[in-house]
């Protein structure tokens, strides 16, 4: 299948190139970022050996849709989306924290709670909760943005005490995070979904704060299906999720969690295709729109041409 595994482009006025786990990022004239969302897939901080066709397009198009749908709350970094797998935007100075917001006790917070902790990132949690319960109100549990390795939990108090973000800016980040989550919750509800938790990243150009990176994608967010949620909770059954969790689950079942000596299970063409189909299903469920596969034969040529056409307009 015609997957976009990696790129090695060279554009006019290109000043640098960065290859992340999933994204290939080209800096143009030290002012703009060309972000190519590849079809690479990572789990447990490991890039898996096979790329997943259309995965990059799914992530890029969901993010583009939700960035547009929230631009009235906070401006974002996007200048244009010249290709289904590409976003071009302005360079922002990123804040060194990720704003994680949780409406339900799931994932990392649920694991901490099960271990007996009643505080996550300095935020108190009530007694008597069980996994996937709705919290009394959404809580913000920030993490530090690690250059290498895992992001780590941090409290608001520590962020301010260490001067990682100024008090004035942090108040705005909290305000934007809550407003974005409320909007995302509304949009999800219209699709029969619950936005369980998500993360937002912000940056600055001059004195203005911008929303950066992707938002409300299945890689950055967790969704439950609304239908049957309450019934499953009452019966202590797992919730029906819409996220990348199904990939992690498959890896765990095959004895891989990114630890030393562990080997990634074989990604057969059938497994790759099934993951691809699941991502397309995620796209259609989250957006309510039919996924359109591009007709171009060669994905690399298509992406390069679209970027080259878009650059003169910057």
With respect to residue 189, please indicate whether it lies within any of the assigned structural domains: yes
Mean pLDDT of 4-8: 96
With respect to residue 165, please indicate whether it lies within any of the assigned structural domains: yes
Evaluate the CA torsion angle 222, 228, 229, 232 in order and state its sign. negative
Residues shown for the chain: 314
Q: Please tell me whether residue 168 adopts helix, strand or coil conformation.
A: helix
In CATH, what number is assigned to the domain containing residue 152? Answer: 3.30.470.20
Q: What is the pLDDT of residues 40-94, one digit of tens each?
A: 999 988 999 999 999 999 999 999 999 999 999 999 999 999 999 999 999 999 9
Range of the structural domain that residue 154 is part of: 94-242
Percentage of residues of the chain with pLDDT beyond 70: 98
With respect to residue 257, please indicate whether it lies within any of the assigned structural domains: no
pLDDT of 147 over the 80 cut: no
pLDDT of 97 over the 80 cut: yes
The distance from CA 113 to its chain's CA centroid, rounded to whole angstroms, is 24
Q: Please give the pLDDT value at position 227.
A: 97
How far, CA to CA in Å, does 234 sit from each of 110, 131, 148, 194, 196? 17, 11, 41, 17, 18
Number of domains making up the chain: 1
User: Helices 55-69 and 167-190 meet at what angle, rounded to 10?
Assistant: 110
* pLDDT bracket for residue 225 (50, 70, 90): very high
User: Residue 229 is encoded by which pair of tokens?
Assistant: 């949620």
With respect to residue 153, please indicate whether it lies within any of the assigned structural domains: yes
Q: Give the chain's mean pLDDT.
A: 95
Higher pLDDT, 108 or 161: 161
With respect to residue 265, please indicate whether it lies within any of the assigned structural domains: no
pLDDT of 9 over the 80 cut: yes
Alpha helices per DSSP H over the chain: 55-69, 107-114, 156-161, 167-190, 229-234, 245-253, 269-287, 299-310
Mean pLDDT of 231-239: 97
- Residue whose tokens read 């765990």: 252
Q: What is the pLDDT of residues 269-297, one digit of tens each?
A: 999 999 999 999 999 999 999 999 988 77
Mean pLDDT of 102-113: 94
Higher pLDDT, 201 or 242: 201
Q: What is the DSSP string of 124-138?
A: E--TT--TTPEEEEE
Burial label for 260, CB within 10 Å (0-12, 13-18, 19+), is exposed
Cα radius of gyration (the chain): 20
Q: Please give the pLDDT value at position 130.
A: 96
Q: Are 7 and 24 in contact (CB under 8 A)?
A: yes
SS (H, E, C) 196-214: EEEEEEEEEECCEEEEECC
pLDDT of 149 over the 90 cut: no
With respect to residue 299, please indicate whether it lies within any of the assigned structural domains: no
Burial label for 150, CB within 10 Å (0-12, 13-18, 19+), is exposed
Q: Are 5 and 38 in contact (CB under 8 A)?
A: yes
How far, CA to CA in Å, does 163 sit from each of 78, 80, 167, 169, 207? 28, 34, 8, 11, 17
Burial label for 178, CB within 10 Å (0-12, 13-18, 19+), is middle
Tell me the C-alpha distance between 241 and 257, whole Å.
20
Q: Are 242 and 287 in contact (CB under 8 A)?
A: no
With respect to residue 247, please indicate whether it lies within any of the assigned structural domains: no
Q: Are 76 and 208 in contact (CB under 8 A)?
A: no
pLDDT of 219 over the 90 cut: no
Q: Please give the pLDDT value at position 122.
A: 94
Q: What is the pLDDT of residues 159-181, one digit of tens each?
A: 999 999 999 999 999 999 999 99
The angle formed by the CA atoms of residues 186, 188 and 190, to the nearest 5 degrees, is 75
Nearest to 34 by CA among 73, 102, 83, 76: 83
The angle formed by the CA atoms of residues 70, 135 and 197, to the nearest 5 degrees, is 40
With respect to residue 39, please indicate whether it lies within any of the assigned structural domains: no
């Amino acid at each position: 299948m015609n997957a976009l595994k990696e790129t090695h482009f060279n554009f006019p006025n290109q000043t640098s190139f960065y290859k992340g786990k999933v994204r290939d990022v080209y800096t143009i004239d030290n002012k703009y970022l060309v972000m190519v969302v590849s079809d690479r897939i990572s789990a447990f901080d490991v890039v898996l050996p096979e790329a997943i066709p259309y995965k990059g397009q799914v992530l890029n198009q969901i993010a583009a849709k939700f960035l547009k749908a929230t631009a009235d709350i906070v401006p974002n970094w996007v200048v244009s989306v010249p290709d289904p797998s590409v976003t071009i935007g302005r360079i922002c100075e990123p804040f060194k924290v990720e704003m994680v917001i949780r409406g339900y006790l799931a994932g990392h917070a649920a694991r901490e709670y099960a271990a007996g902790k009643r505080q996550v990132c300095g935020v108190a949690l009530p007694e008597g909760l069980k996994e996937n319960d709705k919290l009394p109100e959404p809580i913000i549990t920030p993490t530090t943005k690690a250059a290498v390795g895992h992001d780590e939990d941090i409290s608001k108090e520590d962020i301010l005490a260490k001067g990682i973000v100024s008090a004035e800016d942090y108040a705005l980040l909290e305000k934007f995070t809550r407003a974005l989550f409320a909007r995302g919750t509304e949009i999800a509800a219209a699709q029969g979904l619950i936005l369980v938790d998500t993360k937002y990243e912000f940056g600055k150009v001059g004195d203005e704060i911008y929303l950066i990176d992707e938002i409300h994608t299945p890689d950055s967010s967790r969704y439950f299906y609304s239908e049957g949620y309450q019934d499953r909770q009452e019966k202590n059954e797992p919730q029906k999720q819409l996220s990348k969790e199904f990939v992690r689950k498959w890896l765990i079942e095959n004895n891989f969690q990114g630890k030393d000596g562990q080997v990634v299970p074989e990604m057969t063409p059938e497994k790759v295709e099934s993951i691809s189909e699941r991502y397309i299903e995620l796209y259609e469920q989250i957006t309510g729109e039919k996924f359109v596969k591009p007709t171009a034969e060669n994905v690399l040529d298509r992406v390069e041409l679209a970027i080259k056409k878009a650059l003169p307009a910057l």
